[in-house]
């Protein structure tokens, strides 16, 4: 499908040629007038519905996200947010407000990390929740490629993870999912669930891209306890398993480093 076909199906016909935008590894994105159109070839069922739900959940909690105009199995029609200046302090303030919010319990609808399906889960002990909902499905999917690291991953979650309280999370917060727009920073492409804020911070630390200005501002607004800091490598294991799944054994070294630091 092409961007204009999806716009027509949404009743949002626009003149002009679609302009390709930088997208992620899982989809292609175009700007068509006031809209951003996101499409993927043969996406897993429910992928874009889950993304739209995550954007709406973050928006309800005060995070700036693009408005969702149309959801289909093939793609999304979103508001196009015009680029603006970098504002790392503004991003820190937005995320600190999000992470300070407290929900009734840990919880997740069935969703995705990238295109990898994750089960729904509600409540219970945080360590068990995180392992069963996030880590175990990816561990099973990658076990034969882990070259003996599987049991070491399992052992990481026999000790409890620290808890500060159930908080809403973006869930896949690498720098490519931050958009500095006119009027302030926005978040894109969430893997939304309610968990511990260390999950978001672990992904932000994993591949860099967030400068000292961000971390200084975030720490000033919502300081990170030492026990949460120490737990970040265990959360990074989740994302590194996903990278092994999608991109191969080249990430085993980073996975071993995270295991060793835990």
pLDDT tens-digit series, residues 49-103: 999 999 999 999 999 999 999 999 999 999 999 999 999 999 999 999 999 999 9
In whole angstroms, what is the distance from residue 216 CA to residue 143 CA? Answer: 38
- Tokens 């511990």 belong to residue: 196
Strand partners, 195: 167
In whole angstroms, what is the distance from residue 176 CA to residue 132 CA? Answer: 27
User: Which residues of the chain does CATH 3.30.200.20 include?
Assistant: 3-79
* Active-site residue flag, 200: no
In whole angstroms, what is the distance from residue 259 CA to residue 254 CA? Answer: 9
pLDDT at 111 over 80: yes
Backbone torsions φ then ψ of 218, nearest 5 degrees: -65, -45
Q: Are 195 and 130 in contact (CB under 8 A)?
A: yes
**Residue among 25, 144, 172, 189 flagged as catalytic:** 172
Half-sphere exposure in the Cβ direction for 177 (13 Å, CA): 24
Compute the radius of gyration of the chain from its Cα atoms.
18
**For position 209, what pLDDT does the model report?**
83
To which H or E segment does residue 136 belong? helix 136-142
Q: Tokens representing 31?
A: 């700007």
To which H or E segment does residue 29 belong? strand 28-32
The fraction of the chain above a pLDDT of 70, given in percent, is 99
Q: Could you tell me which CATH number the domain at 88-261 has? A: 3.90.1200.10
Give 182-197 pLDDT, tens digit per residue: 999 999 999 999 999 9
Q: Could you tell me which CATH number the domain at 3-79 has? A: 3.30.200.20
pLDDT at 24 over 70: no
Q: How far are the Cα atoms of 52, 123, 146 from residue 186, in angstroms, in the given order?
A: 15, 29, 35
User: Which residues of the chain does CATH 3.90.1200.10 include?
Assistant: 88-261
Question: Which is it for the CA torsion 164, 165, 168, 172, positive or negative?
Answer: positive
């Amino acid at each position: 499908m092409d961007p204009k076909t999806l716009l027509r199906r949404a009743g949002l016909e626009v003149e002009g040629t679609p302009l390709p935008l930088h997208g992620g590894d899982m989809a292609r994105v175009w700007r068509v007038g006031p809209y951003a159109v996101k499409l993927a070839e043969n996406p897993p069922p429910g992928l874009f519905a889950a993304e739209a739900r995550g954007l709406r959940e973050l928006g309800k909690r005060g995070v700036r996200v693009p408005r969702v105009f149309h959801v289909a199995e093939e793609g999304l029609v979103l508001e196009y947010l015009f680029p603006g200046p970098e504002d790392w302090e503004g991003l820190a303030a937005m995320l600190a407000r999000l992470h300070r919010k407290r929900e009734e319990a840990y919880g997740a609808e069935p969703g995705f990390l990238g295109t990898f399906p994750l089960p729904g889960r509600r409540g219970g002990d945080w360590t068990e929740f995180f392992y069963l909902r996030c880590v175990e499905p990816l561990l099973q999917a990658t076990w034969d490629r882990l070259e003996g690291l599987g049991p070491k991953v399992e052992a990481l979650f026999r000790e409890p993870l620290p808890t500060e309280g159930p908080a809403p999370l973006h869930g896949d917060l690498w720098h490519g999912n931050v958009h500095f727009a006119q009027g302030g920073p926005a978040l894109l492409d969430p893997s939304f669930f309610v968990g511990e804020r260390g999950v978001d911070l672990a992904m932000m630390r994993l591949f860099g891209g967030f400068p000292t200005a961000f971390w200084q501002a975030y720490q000033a607004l919502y300081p990170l306890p030492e026990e949460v800091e120490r737990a970040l490598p265990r959360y990074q294991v989740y994302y590194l398993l996903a990278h092994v799944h999608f991109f191969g054994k080249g990430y085993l070294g980073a996975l071993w480093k995270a295991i060793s630091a835990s």
